[in-house]
């Protein structure tokens, strides 16, 4: 079993839809949870950074962390074609430990 | 957010030659930088951790003599792929933590194609 599981998609939604992207993990030591957006042949861009459980909102993006279920989510409201990209979740136990990445979910937002 | 600059964006080289990739932190100092490799439709694979003023730390299975890393200053790390072969063709990405170790900022990546 991988330490972090993420559905690779592709996930195709119409413009304006609410998108839900998810990751599950097995390492209970993870404390820091990140979401990155990666366009084709570009480096990942940090979207959301959260510590421990709870919600965090930034514009159209909301990150949720449920440590009891070992489950994290990224919601995108009013999705736009420009949101079409691969979304990677990443996690760390902190204390200088390296990040563990999911495989990424490819999202397509269609007009 | 912090800016990490990576050059070149793409490079094509002949088998047996060496290629150098540069990674610079533009608006912050980075004592640590990370080098990743990514195959199509796959996630990031950490290759090595670059430490300013000391030797790099390589992940298991990564040949340190093939992938030479130099972190000569607080804003520059370089990855040199020595004696490149077609199987080294991949997308290489560097990253650096800015204010927190877990908060990584990535370069734009380098697509290496070895003929």
Residue carrying the six token digits 């959260």: A50
Distance of CA B30 to the CA centre of its chain: 14
Contact assignment for B34 to A94 by CB distance below 8 Å: no
Inspect the interface and report whether the beta carbons of B49 and A88 lie closer than 8 Å: no
What pLDDT does B2 receive?
84
Please identify which residue in the block is written with the tokens 């300013």: B52
- Interface mutation vs chain B, best among A39, A41, A102, most B CBs within 10 Å: A41
The predicted structure's pLDDT at residue B14 = 96
Nearest CA in chain B to A8: B41
Query: Residue A53: is its pLDDT beyond 90?
Result: no
Q: Are B77 and B68 in contact (CB under 8 A)?
A: no
- The helix, strand and coil proportions of chain B, stated in percent and rounded to the nearest 5, come to 5, 55, 45
Per-residue pLDDT reduced to its tens digit, B18-60: 999 999 999 999 999 999 999 888 889 999 999 998 899 999 9
Taking CB atoms and an 8 Å cutoff, what residues of chain B touch A101?
43-44
8 Å CB contact of B106 and A43: yes
d(CA B38, CA B103): 19
B106 and A44 within 8 Å at the Cβ level: the answer is yes
Q: Over range B85-90, report the average pLDDT.
A: 96
**A15-37 pLDDT per residue, tens:** 999 999 999 999 999 999 999 99
The pLDDT assigned to B40 comes to 85
The pLDDT, as a whole number, for residue A29 is 94
pLDDT of residue A2: 82
Return the higher-pLDDT residue of A95 and A78. Answer: A78
Where does the pLDDT of residue B108 fall: very low under 50, low under 70, confident under 90, or very high at 90 and above? very high
**Residue in B with minimal Cα distance to A102:** B43
Average pLDDT of chain A is 94
Overall average pLDDT of the A71-93 stretch: 97
């Amino acid at each position: 079993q991988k330490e972090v599981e993420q559905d690779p998609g592709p996930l195709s939604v119409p413009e304006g839809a609410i998108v839900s992207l998810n990751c599950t993990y097995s390492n209970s030591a993870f404390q820091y949870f990140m979401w990155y957006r990666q366009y084709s042949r570009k480096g990942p861009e940090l979207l959301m950074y959260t510590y421990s459980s709870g919600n965090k909102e930034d514009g159209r993006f909301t990150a949720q962390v449920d440590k009891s279920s070992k489950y994290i989510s990224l919601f995108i409201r009013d999705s736009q074609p420009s949101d079409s990209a691969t979304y990677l979740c990443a996690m760390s136990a902190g204390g200088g430990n390296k990040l563990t990445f999911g495989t990424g979910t490819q999202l397509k937002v269609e007009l | 957010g912090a800016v990490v600059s990576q050059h070149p964006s793409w490079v094509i080289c002949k088998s047996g030659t060496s290629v150098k990739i540069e990674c610079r932190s533009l608006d912050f100092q980075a004592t640590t930088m990370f080098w990743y490799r990514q195959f199509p439709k796959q996630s990031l694979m950490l290759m090595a951790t670059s430490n300013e003023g000391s030797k790099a730390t390589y992940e298991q299975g990564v040949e340190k003599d093939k992938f030479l890393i130099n972190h000569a200053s607080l804003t520059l790390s370089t990855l040199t792929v020595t004696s490149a072969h077609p199987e080294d063709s991949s997308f290489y990405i560097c990253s650096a933590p800015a204010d927190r170790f877990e908060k990584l900022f990535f370069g734009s990546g380098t697509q290496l194609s070895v003929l």
